[in-house]
């Protein structure tokens, strides 16, 4: 069980850090930098300081891949993880400090597939991990090489019978098998096929579009949503789920009376779930039974193998806003010079609960033409002036719920920029982009999810998952 995983640049700059246990403090990153990276005497790939053990390797590009542990861990398993991580970085051409800073989100996605949230290693097969990544590898030839090596290892696995018993590979126990199934691992060997063939995932994807006026009134707001299905079930299986739409609520006189006896209420409801949502312009996949939906307002379908878009909908009323942007932008003139500038005072507040956190939050703040630099001060996050885009980009890797951050900035204009030019500037709207899990912008939620198998076939347990993903569309604020 790994306590933390760290990645440093060749010069010792920490670029990726993921902590899996609360007992490890973040100051441990400085200890490794001082004891190993800045030291000329260290030769061993293992460093033990008290109860803390560091395992580390160097990638071909010079990156330091480090694990931190405070328990008795299998070092061979740690080396397997580190070299597998190095192989994944090579597949995606992340081999130096510049590329890892640009593609750090791919690194975190890779770590989420290789390790559980508890720090347990669940998958180190590179072809299996590459299939689950959202972006294909930059060097696909490395994937084919790994597949060929895996086939050779599988063909030579019979030789392990000649080894002593304590050196033969250990079979996966029930606990490890359940952990690997929960992460959706698709290793080529073992019992991973069981998890793959009995899994059903519903993704409630929503994009919120909003336009806010100068006086903070909402001029336009709507949500475009889809319910996507990923199915790995045997054929002839019937599924159905119920929504908290207005038609279901009015027809049943309250929820619960139409839930089948075999179905269970879903416990993974988004924190912004509403009592009833008015769905408009609903469109369904051809596998959905439209007669059942019109009669009972229940989405009943026979799931096809793979991933399909099961349903599309549109919501215009009672939208849940995840963020509030309060900008104050004024033109200031300097008495010492003839040039003028724009003064920004912007507040970004999250309106979702504190137990949630948004990722990839970026606030794009336009600046007038003729701006050569910006003096920026932020309470959190990082903000940079991008001259070619005529904008400042205020970024957050993670934005916690029920928090507020502020930005103050003043532009540095060229000599020919006058106050009249700034007054006549068209002021394009401020744009916000983000991604938020387990939050529904429309308030839509799946009340229950039922899977009915064929009576004549064998009864098998089905893993059912529901994931809510909210993203930004055109999230714009005028000022």
The enclosing H or E element of 255 equals none
pLDDT of residue 188: 40
Length of the chain: 479
Cβ-contact 96, 61 below 8 angstroms = yes
Sign of CA dihedral 98, 100, 101, 102: positive
How does pLDDT run along the chain (479 residues), one tens digit per residue? 788 999 999 888 999 998 886 667 888 888 888 888 888 776 788 988 888 899 999 988 889 999 998 888 888 899 899 999 998 898 888 888 888 888 888 888 889 889 888 888 888 888 888 888 888 888 877 766 766 665 665 555 444 444 444 444 444 444 444 444 444 444 444 333 333 457 888 999 999 999 999 999 999 999 999 999 998 887 778 899 999 888 776 644 555 445 555 555 565 567 666 678 999 999 999 999 999 898 888 999 999 888 999 999 999 998 999 999 999 999 988 665 667 899 999 999 999 998 899 999 999 999 998 899 999 999 999 999 999 999 999 999 999 999 999 999 999 988 888 888 888 899 999 999 999 998 999 999 998 888 887 666 556 677 888 899 999 999 999 99
Cβ-contact 406, 331 below 8 angstroms = no
CB neighbours of 70 closer than 8 A, spacing ≥ 6? 3, 21, 23, 24, 51, 52, 53
Cβ-contact 236, 457 below 8 angstroms = yes
pLDDT of residue 323: 96
pLDDT of residue 74: 87
CB neighbours of 225 closer than 8 A, spacing ≥ 6? 204, 205, 206, 207, 312, 313, 314, 315, 441, 442, 444
CB neighbours of 236 closer than 8 A, spacing ≥ 6? 302, 454, 457
pLDDT of residue 180: 43
Cβ-contact 121, 134 below 8 angstroms = no
pLDDT of residue 148: 67
Which structural domains are found in the chain, ordered by start? Answer: 4-195 (3.30.450.60), 200-319+439-477 (2.60.40.1170), 323-437 (2.60.40.1170)
pLDDT of residue 155: 55
Measured from the Cβ of residue 100, the count of other Cβ atoms closer than 10 Å reads: 23
Single pTM value for the model: 0.58
pLDDT of residue 268: 56
Pairwise CA distance, residues 420 & 467, whole Å:
51
pLDDT of residue 442: 93
């Amino acid at each position: 069980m790994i306590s933390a995983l760290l990645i440093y640049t060749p010069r010792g700059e920490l670029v990726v850090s993921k902590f899996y246990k609360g007992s490890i403090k973040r100051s441990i990153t400085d200890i490794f930098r001082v004891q190993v990276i800045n030291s000329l005497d260290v030769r061993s790939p293992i460093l033990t300081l008290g109860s803390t053990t560091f395992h580390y390797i160097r990638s071909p590009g010079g990156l330091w891949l480090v694990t931190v542990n405070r328990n008795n861990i299998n070092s061979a398993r740690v080396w397997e993880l580190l070299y597998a991580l190095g192989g994944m970085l090579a597949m995606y051409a992340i081999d130096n400090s510049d590329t890892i800073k640009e593609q750090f989100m791919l690194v975190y996605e890779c770590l989420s597939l290789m390790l559980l949230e508890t720090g347990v290693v669940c998958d180190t097969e590179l072809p299996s991990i590459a299939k689950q990544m959202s972006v294909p590898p930059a060097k696909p030839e490395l994937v084919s090489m790994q597949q060929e090596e895996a086939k050779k290892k599988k063909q030579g696995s019979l030789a392990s019978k000649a080894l002593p018993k304590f050196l033969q590979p250990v079979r996966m126990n029930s606990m490890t098998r359940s952990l690997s199934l929960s992460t959706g691992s698709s290793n080529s060997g073992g019992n991973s096929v069981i998890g793959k063939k009995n899994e059903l995932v519903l993704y409630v994807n929503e994009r919120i579009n909003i336009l806010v006026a100068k006086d903070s009134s909402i001029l336009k707001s709507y949500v475009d949503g889809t319910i996507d299905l990923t199915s790995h079930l045997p054929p002839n299986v019937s599924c159905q789920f119920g929504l908290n739409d207005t038609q279901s609520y009015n027809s049943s006189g309250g929820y619960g009376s139409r839930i089948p006896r075999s179905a269970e209420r879903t416990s993974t409801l988004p924190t912004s779930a509403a009592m009833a949502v008015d769905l408009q312009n609903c469109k369904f996949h051809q596998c959905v039974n439209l007669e059942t939906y019109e009669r009972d307002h229940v989405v009943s379908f026979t799931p096809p193998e793979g991933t399909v878009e099961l349903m599309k909908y549109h919501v215009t009323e009672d939208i849940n806003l995840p963020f509030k942007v309060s900008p104050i932008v004024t033109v200031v003139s300097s008495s010492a010079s003839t040039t003028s500038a724009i003064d920004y005072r912007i507040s970004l507040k999250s309106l979702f609960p504190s137990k949630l956190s948004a990722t990839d939050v970026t606030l794009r703040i336009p600046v007038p033409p003729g701006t050569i630099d910006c003096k920026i001060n932020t309470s959190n996050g990082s903000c940079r002036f991008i001259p070619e885009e005529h904008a400042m980009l205020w970024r957050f890797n993670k934005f916690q719920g029920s928090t507020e951050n502020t930005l103050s900035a003043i532009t540095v204009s060229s000599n020919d920029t006058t106050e009249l030019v700034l007054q006549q500037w068209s002021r394009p709207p401020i744009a916000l982009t983000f991604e938020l899990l387990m939050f529904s912008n429309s308030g839509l939620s799946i009340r229950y999810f039922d899977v009915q198998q064929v009576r004549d076939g064998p009864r098998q347990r089905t893993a059912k998952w529901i994931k809510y993903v909210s993203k930004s569309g055109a999230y714009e604020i005028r000022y």
